[in-house]
Amino acid sequence: MRSIRIIAHRELSQYFTSPIAYLVAFAILMLTGWQFNVDLAQRAGSLPPDGTAVLSAFGFFTVFFAPLLTMRLLAEESREGTLELMLTMPVRDGDIVVGKFLGAWFYYTLILCLTLVYQAIWLAITTARAYQLRPELDIGPVISAYIGIWLFGGAALAVGLLFSAITENQVVSGFLGMSALFILWLGDFAGQVIQNRTVAEAVRQLSLQAHYSTSFLIGVIRFEDVVFFIGLIVGTLFITTRLVESRRWR
């Protein structure tokens, strides 16, 4: 546990010295800010406020930005050769992987927390006496959507980390991670093109969107969705650990 914490802490502080991490935070905030602005203008007091619109967009952006946060974690270490010293430290291989993952997840959580500013704006608008909106901001779905996007982000980062362990090249790692997540995201649309209903449903159940957009985002916290994301995290971290371990046997 101790070594996981130390490694996670190092990775987290690395994000604050790396330009890519700032760029990712900047891009996500700019895109969600634009999304929020459009939403705000459209509703303009005539429609009930919806705090989850921003998070719906955030989910889609995560597909592209999560691999940018994780692509260097293991790829850079093996290219630079720093992994050799790391693997001779009195630390389990799994601790290295989990530590790096938690560092990335924590940074993702920080970016996610920055979007709370949009909810604060909604609250300020809807509770201001002059612009009383009816109904007020429904806080329930907002909370469930935050829980959902947080788990979704964790799963996306875990998948990204897996591809960082596969290659020494950061660009390849990032690209593969994005492709994999994009396919997982689009699995939701499979139902529209696959004739066989059982197969279509099975594919849909494997997609990221099916466990986020149609549940957490509309205020439903289902056990199966929580299990899906946590299972995805644990499963991919396990495979990643095996990939790191396999370096020793080459």
Partner 1 sequence: MIEVQNLTKCYGRFVALDEVSFSARQGEIVGFLGPNGAGKTTTMRILTGYMPPTEGTARVAGCDIFEDSLEMRRHVGYLPETVRLYRDMTVQGYLRFVAQLRSVDRSSERVAEVLELVGMTDRARSLIRNLSKGMQQRVGLAQAIVHNPEVLILDEPTIGLDPHQVQDLRLLIRDLGQTHTVMLSTHILSEAEQICDRVIILDRGRIVAEDTPDQLRENLNRGGRLFLRVGEHAAPQEVLRVVQAVPGVEKVEAHREGYMVSVRGSIDVRPALAAAVVGHSLELLELRPWATTLEEIFLDLTTRLGQEPGRRRGRSHA
Binding site for partner 1 (CB under 8 A): 2-3, 6-7, 10, 14, 17-18, 80-82, 84-85, 87-92, 248-250
- Looking at beta carbons only, is 72 or 211 nearer to partner 1? 72
Two tokens at 231? 């299972």
- Cα–Cα distances (Å) from 28 to 34, 191, 212, in that order, read 10, 29, 19
Closest Cα to residue 111, out of 60, 170, 70, 62?
Answer: 62
Give min distance, CB of 242 to partner 1, in A: 15
| 23 vs 15: CA distance, rounded Å | 11
Rg, C-alpha atoms of the chain: 20
| 1 vs 95: CA distance, rounded Å | 8
- Looking at beta carbons only, is 37 or 246 nearer to partner 1? 246
Give min distance, CB of 68 to partner 1, in A: 17
Give min distance, CB of 168 to partner 1, in A: 13
Two tokens at 17? 């010295």
- Looking at beta carbons only, is 7 or 142 nearer to partner 1? 7
End-to-end CA distance of the chain: 28
- Looking at beta carbons only, is 69 or 176 nearer to partner 1? 69
Give min distance, CB of 234 to partner 1, in A: 22
Two tokens at 35? 């999304």
The answer to whether residues 72 and 163 touch, using CB atoms and an 8 Å cutoff, is no
| 171 vs 53: CA distance, rounded Å | 31
- Looking at beta carbons only, is 84 or 224 nearer to partner 1? 84
Asked if residue 135 has a cis previous peptide bond (ω within 30° of 0), the answer is: yes
- Looking at beta carbons only, is 17 or 192 nearer to partner 1? 17
Give min distance, CB of 156 to partner 1, in A: 24
Give min distance, CB of 72 to partner 1, in A: 11
- Looking at beta carbons only, is 30 or 89 nearer to partner 1? 89
Amino acid letter, 131? Y
Give min distance, CB of 20 to partner 1, in A: 12
Token pair 């009383």 is at which residue?
132
